[in-house]
Every structure is written in C-alpha cells, then in structure tokens.
A = this chain, B = another copy of it.
Amino acid sequence: MRFVYLGPEATFTEQALLTVEEAVAGDRVPARSVPEALDAVRAGDADAALVPLENSIGGAVPITLDELIAGAPLMITREVVIPVEFVLGARADTAPTAIRTVAAHPQASTQCRNWLRAHLPDAEVTDVLSNSAAAIAAAAGEFDAAICAPLGATRYELAVLADKIADHSHAVTRFALVTRPATPPGPTGDDLTSLALIIRHDQVGALLTVLTELSVRGINLTRIESRPTGEALGRYVFFLDCAGHVAETRFGEALQGLRRVCAEVRFLGSYPRHRWTPGLDHPVPAPANLSDDAFAASASWVDRLRHGDY
C-alpha cells in the first residue's frame, strides 16, 4: 500500500503515520501540501493520505477542512492522535542571545506564543510551511533558529536550545487517514463519524434543527467547526464529529434526517476513536433503547401495525 503524508519528512505527521501498521510496511511519500496529499489519493496515485485535522492548542487546520469538501468525495478511515512537543533548534554555533529571526509553522508559533514572548520578545517569527521547513531553513542559515519537532532537530543536525517550549504541556495533534470512498471499517462500539453540512438559510434556527436531529437519536457531538462557504459572510460549512458509526441503525436514521433538513451533507467517514489517554477517557455506550436491537424491535412492531398483526 502506498501512503502519502503532509511533508516534508521528519515532522509530526510522519511520526503519526509510523503508528499505522500498514504504513510501516508500505510506501510512505511526503507531499508538499495538504491539497497535494489529498489530490494524490483522489487521482489514485496513493491509497491513503495522512493529514492534520486539528490541534488541541491551535485549533482546526482550515486547509484540511476546506480540501476535504472541495473535490471528489474522500473518506476518513482512521484518526491518529499524538502528543506534540516542540523544541527550539539552532545551528551549533548560535548563541541563544543572538537569535533575531525564528522560522516556525504558524501552528507551532501559536502554541509557543508565551514562550516566545518571554524568551525571544524581539525576535521576528516567520511563518513557514512545516516544522521541517523551519529546521531546514535554520540549518541553511536563513533564520537564526527554528521551532520544530525533536525528530526535525535530530535529522537536520540542529542543537536543541530549549525543549518542551510549548505553552501547554499535554498538547496533542489529531490526524486523519484519508482514502477514496469504500465500505467504512466496521463499528467497534467506540467510533466517530465526521460530516460536513451546509444548512438551509431560509430556515429559522437551522443549527438547532441539526442538533435536534442528532439528539433525538441520542447522538453526541464531540466537535463542531465552521468554515466559510466563500459565498458571503454568514454562510458556513459546519464540520461535525459525532459519536457513532454509519453502520448503526440510529446513526443511519440521524443521517437521513440531516440529509432531509440540510442543503447539503457530505459524509466524511466512520472510524474507531483513538483514545489517547487510556483509562481516563471512556467510551459511553448508547442507551439500551437506542441499540440496533431496540431499533429492529421497534421497526418490526411498526411493520406488524401496518399489517394488523398486533
């Protein structure tokens, strides 16, 4: 199997990909951007792409959200959550007091904002496209230092001037493994389903309607993001992560409901939830009256009513 990931090499994304067994055994090719990675899957040049979805500090990765809904349908088959610890790397001969310019990916500089204010208040921070690009640019002398992953410092032979410089310990990044549409991986009892919705703007309380379609079927929302549709201010695509799996009856019924009340619904995959803090973060099973069995029993009851057999 051929995997593409948001490159360059030696970033958190490569590190996340290496937690996927099939990827360790398969080909792993860096892409220059999220669009390039996803387009490689759409074109059939790769079987799957690993791209960042969100970070517990920096928030959503807008380009990923935008690209997931921009072209041919894609499907998330797996989420990977890994801890994110940044270092400040510099060439070996750089004195910490001499740092005037720092290269950093915007998510990285966002997460190290307080550290930067405290320790390098006068340094100019320049956005670059990746943590690796920051390391490479610092190694090349284009900047005095780089915020990067530990792996990036090692790979590009930078000295670590400071480690764990992120403002929040326990920061994590969540990645999505994306394929072309296929039968989703089977339900595990602890799954997420990702959706993109465009609500009808002639409806009062459209978002309330959407949430009601979910809550009536006992489906919890774990995340909601909005992105502009580009038409005008006030028009949004909503990205929802919901607890549950498309194969569950109740989830199928909720999806049908969303399809009927929304202007557009794009299914973005059902996949096992990655519980990154085992023991702390328990799945909540659906109540008995919302199980597939409860749905089957109630459907069979309605069927009997329709035929006078009760």
List A residues at the B interface (Cβ < 8 Å): 35, 54-60, 62-63, 66, 73, 75, 81, 106, 110, 113, 126-129, 167-168, 170-172, 174, 181-184, 204-205, 207-208, 211-213, 215-216, 220-228, 230-236, 246-247, 252-253, 255-257, 259-261, 267, 276, 289-290, 294-295, 297-299, 301-302, 305-310
Contacts and interface: CB of A to CB of B under 8 A. Distances in A.
Contact of A289 (B58, B168, B207, B261): B261
**Top 4 closest pairs, chain A to chain B, by CB:** A127-B127, A182-B308, A256-B298, A259-B298
A309 B181 contact: yes
Contacts of A183: 306-308
B228 A58 contact: yes
Contacts of A231: 56, 168, 170
A232 B174 contact: no
22 contacts: A56-B230, A56-B231, A73-B310, A75-B308, A106-B106, A106-B127, A126-B126, A126-B129, A127-B129, A171-B230, A184-B308, A207-B224, A211-B211, A222-B234, A223-B234, A223-B236, A224-B226, A246-B305, A252-B306, A255-B302, A259-B298, A260-B295
Contacts of A106: 106, 127
Nearest to A259: B298
A54 B233 contact: yes
Given A55-B228, A59-B62, A289-B261, A267 B73 contact: no
